[in-house]
Structure 1
């Protein structure tokens, strides 16, 4: 430390000047011993701090080296050979096999409704009754006219037979016989028309009783009893949906269409399963019914239709479900957990634990992946132990220590 009252020489520093300056400083410090002590303490503090910092750096480097060479705890799983089931997944919408809007086929007053909203009905069950009196009257009139014309036809037949007999006896003219034959044909036409009117009247009368065309679940009623219903009404009486069997529409990528078409060409039905939104609980199992005739160009997907039994009513119209369809089965596939697969500059690889408890990087080729399990085409052998947890700390040749998790899982094909 240089005191504030010290004045440095203003001349250009030279070797002699430096010596002179050093002698002057030394003389000044001898005259002021306290400043000499402070300077020595500062130098000692600097040297000690520098030594401690260097020691810390050396310790940290040693610890890093030890940690790098220490065995890393990892969880491993064996490579196994087992059956592998490949599935297609999709989001589906439950669609009724048939939807019928029940309407009146005749006009008249709605006398009564014979159903409860939401009721399950069978085909042929009575749903509503329209006033049958006008149609009954029309039927009676048609039957009366038929009876009248049938009587006239019978009388015409008798007259024709009599005149034909007289013609043989040469007691009447041929013209009168021909007139009687024409009259018979006229009454025959009238009787045929009357029979049609009777049939039409009977049909109109039957339409007054509205029955369920199919079995299914009824919706909410659209009209109340007492109203006049017409065939031109914008709304029907009630909507009826067929729920058993029931259909599900779902989409798959267009790339998966060829194997699906190949499955449909086989005599065995293609199995389709429905699951809840977590893919944990199976709701129903059915079969693939049909494939749409065109691909959606905006999404690159194609719609498929599957059919399911629904006797318990667990599937409801417009319900969203997860669809799983079996696409292919590999009976002897090489399998390992998907969590063991790593990706980097080397491509796709796994860490294989060797006999000396070190790991090596093994490139692999993946044939297919299904959830937590992957089928491997090449790169590993049956019985190899691959790292499933702790791989982020590893490199080629790293020492490892195998630890057992609380719950171990052996890979099996499919889900």
Structure 2
């Protein structure tokens, strides 16, 4: 019985042994072939670098450093506001008999907007006219009596006192005539208020009261709101540090151009001019408010719309390079300069103002030098390059910012604060 039970045990032990040997054989084969496939790549040092064979020139595109105009542009976020906004209210009480406008309609100054029932105000005017006519008749009668009394006094037929009393009565009626005329004018004015007219030219909003309702002068909501959108204004703020540059131009009598771009800061939608700046700085934010004016002939600007504002302060001549050429690293801003032997060298620079796809260079470069604008992610100090084609030295200005934003950032470009491959570190 014991011999029969030990036989299956030996068989199971043999199976486990063969399974372990098989696993070890598979692992050994995988290691052997993996090592064999990587060995050629490592022979003779590093033969591949970032997907390029060792010793092969890196294809790049270049731009030439040139002297050109660079705009001094201040950027801000602004809000479009109506040049004038009027809430149309009634100045008298009464029934709203007629609505003479459509919601959203454009109106001109003086156009009829609504008609209030004028009958009660016409009655008041008629009463004032009647009282005026009555007092006018009494005045004329008193003036004739005064003439008679003056004649009789010359003939010594009446006393002086009677003449003076009649003269005073004439003056009283003359005062009444002025009061009557004022009452007539007031009644006529109230009657004219029953016709509600547009005080300014602009576009109407949605009416807040329908025909047939009672309208009151005390109603603060009014009948409708008119916004003047041609021209239209834009309010924006600038930091107080940028205020001197703007004030200098304003005091010199210069008109500063203002450009508006859409919310993506790509498409230019309007061009106008700076109107005025506020008379004080907001102490809470350290900014000052400015107001610009735009013709808005195509009505592309709408009240309360958010826009990107670019205030052009001036233009100066400077060395310029494409913004794509400027990289950031541990040494700060730098570019790759190509020498006569088609080798690149890291050159630290000091940059100035940025104007769209161009940036001013304060120091570090000279006119005529060539800098790399494409292929930066595969470069290192002293690398050999092959020029694919030279690009324009100074790309278009800020209007072409859409093309600049469409280009993806260089994945190999050193980030700010990160060490640069082949670039000298800051000491």
The alignment's TM-score, normalised by the length of structure 2, stands at 0.79
Partner of 2:205: 219
Q: Does 1:182 align with 2:180?
A: no
Q: Deviations over 1:21-51 (max 9, x none)?
A: xxxxxxxxxxxxxxxxxxxxxxxx9xxx8xx
Partner of 2:19: none
Deviation at 1:149, TM superposition (A): 0.6
Aligned partner of residue 310 in structure 1, secondary structure? coil
Instruction: Determine if contact 2:58/2:384 at 8 Å carries over to the other structure.
Output: yes
- Counterparts of 1:25-36 in structure 2, within 5 Å, are none
Instruction: Determine if contact 1:100/1:241 at 8 Å carries over to the other structure.
Output: yes
Larger mean Cα displacement after TM superposition, 90-99 or 393-402: 393-402
Instruction: Determine if contact 1:132/1:205 at 8 Å carries over to the other structure.
Output: yes
Deviation at 1:320, TM superposition (A): 1.8
Deviation at 1:64, TM superposition (A): 5.9
Aligned length: 363
Q: Deviations over 1:39-70 (max 9, x none)?
A: xxxxxx9xxx8xx8997696162526995654
Task: Point out where structure 1 has 5 or more consecutive residues left out of the alignment.
Answer: 1-44
Deviation at 1:285, TM superposition (A): 1.5
Deviation at 1:244, TM superposition (A): 1.1
Q: Deviations over 1:268-300 (max 9, x none)?
A: 321112222333433222110111223334443
Q: Which has the larger radius of gyration?
A: 1
Q: Does 1:87 align with 2:73?
A: yes
Q: Deviations over 1:176-229 (max 9, x none)?
A: 111101111111111111010001011011111110000001111111111111
Task: Point out where structure 2 has 5 or more consecutive residues left out of the alignment.
Answer: 1-27, 399-427
Partner of 1:371: 356
Deviation at 1:140, TM superposition (A): 1.0
Aligned partner of residue 277 in structure 1, secondary structure? coil
Larger mean Cα displacement after TM superposition, 55-64 or 187-196: 55-64
CA-based RMSD: 2.4
Q: Distance in 2 between matches of 1:126 and 1:208?
A: 11
Deviation at 1:138, TM superposition (A): 0.8
Partner of 1:119: 105
Aligned partner of residue 165 in structure 1, secondary structure? helix
Q: Does 1:385 align with 2:370?
A: yes
Deviation at 1:86, TM superposition (A): 2.5
Q: Distance in 1 between matches of 2:264 and 2:283?
A: 29
CA distance 1:64–1:238, change in 2 (3 Å)? closer
The alignment's TM-score, normalised by the length of structure 1, stands at 0.81
Partner of 1:236: 222
Deviation at 1:100, TM superposition (A): 0.7
Q: 1:268 aligns with which of 254, 278, 290?
A: 254
Q: Does 1:305 align with 2:305?
A: no
Instruction: Determine if contact 2:64/2:392 at 8 Å carries over to the other structure.
Output: no
Aligned partner of residue 328 in structure 1, secondary structure? strand
Larger mean Cα displacement after TM superposition, 355-364 or 202-211: 355-364
Q: 1:340 aligns with which of 316, 325, 331?
A: 325
Aligned partner of residue 284 in structure 1, secondary structure? strand
